[in-house]
Structure 1
């Protein structure tokens, strides 16, 4: 087997995962896209292990096993966060997650459904 084919397949899978992370609004779909990227990395590690077996035997397989363990832990923590988010907000849309904590004296924004339109602070003239 030529090693170019798995590398191109892994690059396509990784690109599809990056697209999913950047374009999706649902947190569960974002987690699925991250898993797709991790599987692309596993494909690269296994392919590199089979092509360079004489240098370091079975090192790619060991690293792929670590990536699988990392992916399982990431899914466990990520789904716990998504479930808690759904309980608090009744939605898992990533756009609706507040990234900064509001303090007691700050005004509440007029609309939380649309994009924020903050103007840049004016400097000295």
Structure 2
């Protein structure tokens, strides 16, 4: 499959994530949109790694593993982000009984 399809799909997912972060007020939906953007980047990294592997298959034997290694580290960081982010959202809900991010703006004053 051509790399253009992967680029278009990744760009579409990333734009949906950005629109969700900028337009939504619910903290959980914002959090899911950030994860969607991370997965779009992961898809693009794997696609470029595969493309690089196809072009350099005769030169280096492990040329396709660089992108997958970066994706693995991004997934580890995303798992830690999920743990910390969801705990912050749960504590926010326990204290304010809302997950609206505009309510956090009112807490500053």
TM bucket, shorter chain: 0.7 to 0.9
Higher helix share: 2
Distance 2:106 2:79 in 1: 25
Match of 1:84 among 84, 87, 91: 91
- Please state whether the residue corresponding to 1:97 is helix, strand or coil: helix
Q: TM-score, normalised by structure 2?
A: 0.87
Provide structure 2 residue ranges, at least 5 long, that are not aligned to the other structure: none
Provide structure 1 residue ranges, at least 5 long, that are not aligned to the other structure: 103-125
Cα RMSD between the aligned structures?
1.5
Aligned length: 102
Alignment match, 2:74: 67
Alignment match, 1:12: 12
Distance 2:36 2:64 in 1: 26
Structure number with higher relative contact order (C-alpha < 8 Å, ≥ 6 residues apart): 2
Distance 1:26 1:44 in 2: 28
Distance 1:101 1:9 in 2: 39
- Please state whether the residue corresponding to 1:92 is helix, strand or coil: coil
Give 1:22-41 correspondences, 5 Å limit: 22-41=22-41
The runs of 4+ residues in structure 1 deviating greater than 4 Å are 99-102
Match of 1:97 among 84, 104, 109: 104
